[in-house]
Structure 1
Amino acid sequence: MKSIIKKKTYRAIYRLLDMVSPIQGDCGKLCNAACCTCGGDSMDQDGLDYDLGIYLLPGEEKLFTMKEDWLKWSVEYAEDYDFPDSWFGKVYFVRCKTPPVCPREARPLQCRFFPLAPHFSEEGKLQLILSTSELPYSCPLISEKIELNKKFIKATYTVWKHLVKDTLIFDLVEMDSNDRESMNIKYEVIYQ
């Protein structure tokens, strides 16, 4: 699976997102970094194990050596999971081994975007919505409807406008959007 996004473009995206945050300050202080600390041996209220982590976007792995002492790496195959049909071959799944401490400047994109997610409207317009992913924790940014930093929202939208130019990433956003619509999942549009 080959992304058209170059390593230098991913670096520029990381730099742009380094300058913004969902709120003024570290949002992890609101919830004791629940999104980072709830993996590994954590269990939800139903007794289910979660090894919480994220998939890197196609080509994002170029920014890492796979020897980072703070990340646990898994290499999966797209065909074995719920990815778009255009995805084949290796996908990279990472988990933080040192929660809640990690090098903020090296956090993967999905960490940097949260709690926002890209969504295509029925007309095909790119929107940012609050994440609708089922999580084994409660994010105060979502549950308490804390107002997000406008610069964070705009920077995230700008990044997604560039990312969806890659057909693999476009296909992922389209699949996720279609899934939300077909399952009648309610979502809140934050920006379009």
Structure 2
Amino acid sequence: MKSTIKRKTFAAIYRLLNRVSPLAEDCGTLCQAACCNCGGDSSDEDGLDFEMGIYLLPGEEKLFTRKETWLKWSVEYAEDYDFPDSWFGKIYFVRCNCAPHCPREMRPLQCRFFPIAPHLTDDDELLLIYSDSKLPYTCPLISKKMELTPSFLKSSYTVWKRLIQDPLIYDLVKWDSCIRETITAVYPK
């Protein structure tokens, strides 16, 4: 899969998102950094059983050497998983090695955006919503619908507006949006 987004654009996006956070304080103190917990295989009450990790967005791998000691890399094939039909070929799945934490300035995009996710309406209007992914933990930001910082929401929205200009990322966001039954917009309201 070939992204239309250049490495320097991803680097600029990382720099922008380095300056913002969902809360004014460290949200990891609310949940003991559950999303960064690297206990290996885990299982929750819903029967999810997997090693915590995330897929990189198409082209995001350009920012990494794949020799980072704080990440474990898997190369998968999009055709083997539930991705849009336009997705084919290699996709990258990464897991933290937790030594003890990743370099914050190099966190993958999906980590930086959490707890929000992009959603496209039937009219292709971009909204940010609380993530509705099944998780092996409870995120208080989502469960309590906590107020997120305006700078985080505005920056994330700006970045998603740019990211969905890439046809592969647009297809993924549209794909995810089509399977949601209900949403509540966090931004814009």
Q: Output the amino acid matched with 2:176.
A: D
Whole-Å separation in 2 of the counterparts to 1:39 and 1:85: 33
SS of the equivalent of 1:93 reads: strand
Paired position in structure 1 for 2:43? 43
Whole-Å separation in 1 of the counterparts to 2:127 and 2:110: 16
Whole-Å separation in 2 of the counterparts to 1:179 and 1:42: 26
Provide TM-score, normalisation by structure 2. 0.95
Instruction: Tell me the CA shift for residue 41 of structure 1.
Output: 2.9
Whole-Å separation in 1 of the counterparts to 2:47 and 2:177: 30
2:41–2:52 Cα contact (<8 Å) kept: no
Paired position in structure 1 for 2:184? 188
Matched, 1:11 2:7: no
Matched, 1:152 2:161: no
Paired position in structure 1 for 2:60? 60
Matched, 1:130 2:130: yes
Instruction: Tell me the CA shift for residue 58 of structure 1.
Output: 0.3
Q: Which runs of 5+ in 1 are unaligned?
A: none
Whole-Å separation in 2 of the counterparts to 1:95 and 1:131: 19
Alignment of 1:32-181 (within 5 A): 32-37=32-37, 39-45=39-45, 48-98=48-98, 101-180=101-180
Whole-Å separation in 2 of the counterparts to 1:18 and 1:11: 11
2:38–2:97 Cα contact (<8 Å) kept: no
Q: Which runs of 5+ in 2 are unaligned?
A: none
2:41–2:50 Cα contact (<8 Å) kept: yes
Provide TM-score, normalisation by structure 1. 0.94
2:83–2:172 Cα contact (<8 Å) kept: yes
Q: Output the amino acid matched with 1:124.
A: D
Q: Output the amino acid matched with 2:21.
A: S
Q: CA 1:46 to 1:119, structure 2 compared with 1: closer, same or farther past 3 Å?
A: closer
SS of the equivalent of 2:51 reads: coil
Instruction: Tell me the CA shift for residue 50 of structure 1.
Output: 2.2
Instruction: Tell me the CA shift for residue 49 of structure 1.
Output: 2.7
What stretches of structure 1 move > 2 A for 4+ residues in a row?
45-50
RMSD, aligned α-carbons: 1.4
Matched, 1:21 2:17: no
Instruction: Tell me the CA shift for residue 47 of structure 1.
Output: 5.8
Q: How many residues align?
A: 188
Q: Output the amino acid matched with 1:85.
A: D
Q: Deviations over 1:15-47 (max 9, x none)?
A: 000000000122111101111105513221356
SS of the equivalent of 1:50 reads: strand
